[in-house]
Structure 1
Amino acid sequence: MKIVAYGASNSSTSINKKLATYTANLVEGAEVTVLDINDYDVPMFSEDLEKEIGQAEGAQQFLDDLAKADAFVISYAEHNGHYPAAYKNLFDWATRIDRELFKNKPAVYLATSPGPSGAKSVLSAAVTSAPFYAGNVKATVSVPGFYDKFDVETGKVTDEALIAELTAAVAKLAE
């Protein structure tokens, strides 16, 4: 199974990217490709700019990289209850090229934050909107108190209950 994983954040120290990477690698024998949304250069979306330049090359590259997946593990960062602007902008450009960018491939949606909410607001928004973009969400996990459950130096979850929950979530990718 080829899994594409990414954190929907442009932070160079993204805890969501760390969580997505860890979780995708729980799938035994999977070939995991971790994307960094900073690698997809797109200008700020507007219909006027789209008329002027057409498709943004970075958005097409993002779609090309998504197309290589059999499944997705995506962890959503939350800024004031919503998607971070950088991710939303890339997503907007990509969906103008292909609205069904997730192609009904199985996905696990995650979200985490250092605080007690576990980025539940953005996770809910992502799950609710998934069908509009051919998203096939098999499981979701919200992780509050990230630094209490994840060792950043080793890149591993330290909480046994969370390990079990993430393992059960990614097992659904093969169903």
Structure 2
Amino acid sequence: MKELTKICVFCGSSEGNDAAITEAAIKTGKQFAQQDVTLIYGAAKIGVMGVLAKTVLDNKGHVIGVIPDFLKKKEVVHLGLTELHTTKNMHERKLTMHELSDGFIALPGGMGTLEELFEIITWLQLGLHQKPIGLLNVNGFYNDLLKLLETMVRKGFLSMENYDLLLVDTTIENLLEKMKRFKAPEIPKWLKKHRT
């Protein structure tokens, strides 16, 4: 079983219009606090991100925020976090999140959430890390995305091995269990650090 003490969560800076998503963020925050998992996230006090961070903190958990300097505005950044890291740019932000985390979870969100999810899963596919990546499919939010990935497999653009790298569940409890049992595939022999 993999030990997950710090998990990075990608999620929306908006709350959206589905109460089930807000409730899932609250459940996730409570699970993190109960299991003594530190939340790593984008440091915002707004949207699903803000709900998640507030819940972890309200339940005496730890939260580390990572935000680029240009987004560090009083109305956006959460100033009550356990730790706050400021980076020069978005790329450095993602590298810092990766370095701090034992695994990753995507909750519902928009373009930024998808961009972060697909970059980190591409890094796993390339063998740049061996950390589990979970997708919390709240109320069918990611159903169409999963269908698209299945189409990629059928059309020969995505192998089943790489499709299976993304761990999917509808509850945070089950998703965390899948992540703890995750075993990364062997790194391809052709991939060397100097080629990345």
Q: TM-score, normalised by structure 1?
A: 0.49
Which of the two has higher C-alpha Rg? 2
